Amino acid sequence: MAQITRTCLEIKDARELRPAARPPLDGLEIARVQPVDGATSRWFYLRVGEPHNWVDHAEWSAAEWQEWAEGVETWVAAVAGERAGYYELRPDDGSVELAYFGLLPESQGKGLGGYLLTHALQRGLAIAPRVWAHTNTQDAPGALPNYQARGLRPFRTEPLAGESRDGPQQS
> What CA–CA distance (Å, rounded) separates 170 from 158?
13
Share of the chain above pLDDT 90, in %: 71
Q: What is the pLDDT of residues 149-165, one digit of tens each?
A: 999 999 999 998 654 44
pLDDT at 162: 52
Cα gap 112→100, rounded to integer Å: 16
pLDDT (tens digit, 9 = 90+) per residue, 55-108? 888 899 999 999 999 999 999 999 999 999 999 999 988 999 999 999 999 998
Higher local confidence (pLDDT), 22 or 157: 157
pLDDT tens, 52-70?
888 888 899 999 999 999 9
Q: Is the dihedral of CA 43, 48, 51, 53 positive or negative?
A: negative
Domain ranges for the chain: 5-17+27-159
User: pLDDT tier at 51 (50, 70, 90 boundaries)?
Assistant: confident
pLDDT band for position 39 (50/70/90)? very high
Average pLDDT estimate for 130-148 = 91
- Does the pLDDT value for residue 168 go beyond 60? no
Q: What is the pTM of this model?
A: 0.90
As its CATH architecture, domain 5-17+27-159 has 3-Layer(aba) Sandwich (3.40)
